[in-house]
Amino acid sequence: MILKLELVESIKLYVERGIPTGGFLYAVLTNNMVEALFKADMENREALYDIVSYIYNNIPGDAWGSPTKVEMWMKKKQEERKLQPMKNYPDPDRDRKYNGKDFGR
């Protein structure tokens, strides 16, 4: 089964940047399958095995498996973001410079 694009994007944002997921995906990541089943829409309920397989095979083991692991992963990634601003997002100090000339001040 092909996973929904928004689900894969949510997993990617969680893994790379520590962005919190929605309730269904949080339940899956924390290994709470009963909650996941109750929070899932019909498509995700039918795809649950494939979603768990995707997580198992594609994201680091310390990023899923329990609420503690998930919370620690998000905290770690959020700290990394503070230390390394993203290059693709607007940065007023960087964006006002062009060919070494400062056009902002």
pLDDT tens figures, 45-81: 999 999 999 999 999 999 999 999 999 999 999 999 8
Exposed, middle or buried, 70 (CB in 10 Å: 0-12/13-18/19+)?
buried
Handedness of CA 67, 11, 74, 26 (dihedral sign): negative
For 17, the domain range is: 5-102
Give the containing element (helix H, strand E) for 102. strand 101-102
pLDDT in tens, 54-64: 999 999 999 99
Total structural domains within the chain: 1
- pLDDT at residue number 103: 43
| Maximum Cα–Cα distance across the chain | 58
Q: Any alpha helices (H) in the chain, and if so which ranges?
A: 5-17, 23-29, 33-39, 42-46, 48-58, 67-83, 92-95
Strand 101-102 and strand 97-98: the pairing is antiparallel
